């Protein structure tokens, strides 16, 4: 399969086993070190969240979910219809996926930016190029999505992998498995438009599902949203995806590790912001309740139950 000078797939992608593709991924030592540091910071963040209960934390998550949806649209330079949040809300009734569920998510992100969009219950039937147009009007193709006739087979594999419950780090770590699902969705490109926005919702669903397993909790909204940080680093985000050869012939390991590392960096940046915000909210709450500094210190050191 021809690969252009950037290392990006330049042919339409014919079906191959996604599970075999994943089995070729080897996590590098530098990534594992970064992952360990990010997970420690995330534990601290979850400890801060555990201070809150009931409406306080629900309101916090609703606000961050709204911000996530707006930022995800901004990444694609798409307008955002605030009214659809009032009409449909930001809650998702389940974290699992199916073909129908994926279509529903895609319809949600498309109608939130285009009221004239007609909901669909099928994947694309036409080829798609991921490209840009030069100043001279020529199309520069970075890579092409899956062959239309192979999209359904790819997505069936995709759903099967999403449902996997393997104990390996790539499947069990929330950051890795969520970013892997987002990457696969993007590279299959099952729709003519709205793939990036749908992939980021799927990232959040899978991230939340895995957090629930690891921490023995039952969240329906993601405790950490990173689209704001992706928006600020859009060029790198797109470049990381573009540089991954999507086939079983080329060595993709370094590029995929770079993708994971980028997502971890986005999580690091968002954690710094979110932890500072939560700490400020806790300080305000404790001052209002005349909580002593010693109790406040203990609150910030609380530990929540996590499966190691």
Tell me the whole-structure pTM to 2 decimals: 0.88
Q: Which residue has the higher pLDDT, 134 or 229?
A: 229
Distance between CA atoms of residues 225 and 115, nearest Å: 25
Q: Which residues pair with 9 in a beta bridge?
A: 3
Widest distance between CA atoms in the chain? 67
Which pLDDT value is given to residue 102?
97
**Residue 16 contacts residue 150 (beta carbons within 8 Å):** no
Which uninterrupted H or E stretch holds 144?
strand 139-144
pLDDT digits (tens, 9 = 90+) for 164-197: 989 999 999 999 999 999 999 999 999 999 999 9
pLDDT digits (tens, 9 = 90+) for 70-86: 999 999 988 777 666 65
pLDDT digits (tens, 9 = 90+) for 6-62: 546 667 899 999 999 999 999 999 999 999 999 999 999 998 887 765 566 667 777
Q: Does the pLDDT of residue 250 top 60, yes or no?
A: yes
Q: Which residue has the higher pLDDT, 221 or 16?
A: 16
Residue 51's alpha-carbon distances to 152, 177, 263, 282, 294, in angstroms, are: 44, 27, 27, 8, 15
Confidence of residue 221 (pLDDT cuts 50, 70, 90): confident
Sequence-separated (6 or more) residues with CB below 8 Å from residue 291 = 285, 299
Angle subtended at Cα 306 by Cα 258 and Cα 260, rounded to the nearest 5 degrees: 5
Which pLDDT value is given to residue 298?
44
HSE, side-chain direction, 13 A CA sphere, residue 25: 25
What percentage of the chain carries pLDDT values higher than 90? 59
Q: Residue 15 corresponds to which tokens in the numbers above?
A: 């079906």
Residue 103's alpha-carbon distances to 107, 119, 120, 178, in angstroms, are: 6, 8, 7, 19
Q: Let me know if 59 is exposed, middle or buried by CB neighbors in 10 A (0-12, 13-18, 19+).
A: exposed
Q: For helices 174-188 and 151-162, what crossing angle results, to 10°?
A: 170
Domains of the chain plus CATH, in order, are 18-300 (1.10.3290)
Confidence of residue 285 (pLDDT cuts 50, 70, 90): low
Mean confidence (pLDDT) of the chain: 86
Mean pLDDT throughout 134-160?
Answer: 93
**Residue 186 contacts residue 26 (beta carbons within 8 Å):** no
Residue 183 phi/psi, 5-degree rounding, is -65, -50
Distance between CA atoms of residues 69 and 66, nearest Å: 5
Q: Flag the least confident range among 113-122, 168-177, 183-192, 295-304.
A: 295-304
Angle subtended at Cα 228 by Cα 59 and Cα 108, rounded to the nearest 5 degrees: 70
């Amino acid at each position: 399969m021809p690969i252009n000078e950037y290392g990006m797939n330049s042919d339409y992608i014919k079906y191959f086993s996604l599970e075999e593709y994943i089995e070729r991924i080897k996590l590098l030592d530098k990534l594992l070190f970064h992952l360990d540091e990010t997970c420690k910071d995330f534990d601290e963040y979850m400890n801060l969240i555990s201070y809150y209960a009931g409406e306080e934390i629900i309101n916090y998550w609703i606000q961050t979910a709204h911000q996530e949806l707006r930022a995800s649209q901004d990444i694609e330079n798409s307008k955002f219809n605030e009214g659809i949040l009032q009409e449909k809300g930001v809650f998702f009734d389940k974290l699992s996926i199916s073909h129908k569920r994926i279509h529903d998510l895609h319809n949600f992100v498309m109608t939130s930016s285009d009221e004239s969009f007609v909901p669909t219950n099928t994947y694309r039937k036409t080829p798609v190029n991921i490209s840009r147009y030069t100043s001279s009007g020529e199309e520069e193709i970075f890579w092409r999505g899956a062959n239309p006739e192979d999209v359904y087979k790819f997505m069936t594999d995709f759903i099967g992998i999403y449902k996997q419950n393997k104990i390996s780090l790539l499947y069990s770590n929330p950051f890795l498995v969520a970013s892997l699902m987002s990457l696969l969705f993007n590279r299959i490109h099952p729709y003519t438009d709205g793939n990036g926005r749908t992939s980021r919702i799927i990232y959040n669903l899978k991230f939340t599902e895995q957090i629930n397993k690891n921490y023995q909790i039952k969240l329906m909204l993601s405790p950490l949203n990173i689209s704001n940080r992706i928006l600020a680093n859009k060029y790198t985000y797109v470049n990381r995806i573009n540089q991954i050869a999507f086939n079983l012939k080329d060595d993709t390991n370094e590029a995929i590790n770079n993708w994971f590392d980028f997502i971890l960096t986005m999580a690091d940046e968002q954690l710094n912001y979110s932890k500072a915000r939560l700490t400020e909210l806790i300080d305000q709450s404790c001052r209002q309740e005349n909580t002593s500094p010693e109790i406040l210190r203990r609150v910030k050191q609380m530990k929540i139950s996590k499966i190691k």
